[in-house]
Amino acid sequence: MMKESLIAFKVSLVTILLTAVLYPLAVTSFSTLLFYKQASGSLIIDEQHKIIGSELIGQTFENPAYFFPRPSLTTKGYEGTASGGSNLGPTSHALVKRIQEKVEELKKDNAELIPLDLVTTSGSGLDPHISPEAAYWQAPRVALYRNVSLKRIFSIIDELIEPPHFTFLGEKRVNVLKLNITLNQLLSSPVVP
């Protein structure tokens, strides 16, 4: 029995070494070599080499001169460690109340029909994208606070619309952080409310 236990221990040790050490090390090294930006979190870095954010996680923007992302589920904004769905179904009173409150808040900006993604969260609660319709809906407010024409804001949105993955997976979308960075690069400083 001692011989079988020693063999089982050696096999377990080799398996742990292969699956818990060597394989993750090889995959991480391979991905870092070939896909450095993605393996590093798809970070957006400014001219002073300061990290602005990630292309993959939303950020809160409260100044009305910027585009707003989808609502976040987390109580800490868009903190990645708090990712997860709300598990609230369409018959949930809490979900209906939260959406109604968001609709009332957004009606102040624009009386038109509000795009669904501006009042609902994504599955992770951290989605950095909004639909082009949600960006166009917010454009009048941004144009007003930036003191530029609505046509100019629309043209910036048009330039930043990302197609569906592989041309058929998902929907067209706009990365809110990239859109707001582009606004800062192309337009004058926003008017502070």
Per-residue pLDDT of 31-90, as tens digits, reads 888 888 877 778 888 888 888 888 888 888 889 999 999 987 765 667 666 666 667 777
- Mapped onto helix, strand or coil, the DSSP state of residue 126 is coil
Q: Is the pLDDT of residue 184 over 80?
A: yes
**CA 99 from centre of chain:** 20
- Mapped onto helix, strand or coil, the DSSP state of residue 169 is strand
Q: What percentage of residues in the chain have a pLDDT greater than 90? A: 45
d(CA 153, CA 139): 6
Per-residue pLDDT of 20-45, as tens digits, reads 999 999 998 988 888 888 777 788 88
Cβ atoms of 176 and 127 within 8 Å: the answer is no
Question: Shortest CA distance to 77 belongs to which of 57, 104, 54, 106?
Answer: 57
User: Pairing mode, if any, of strands 51-54 and 129-130?
Assistant: unpaired
**Mean predicted lDDT score pLDDT of the chain:** 87
Q: Is the pLDDT of residue 193 over 90?
A: no
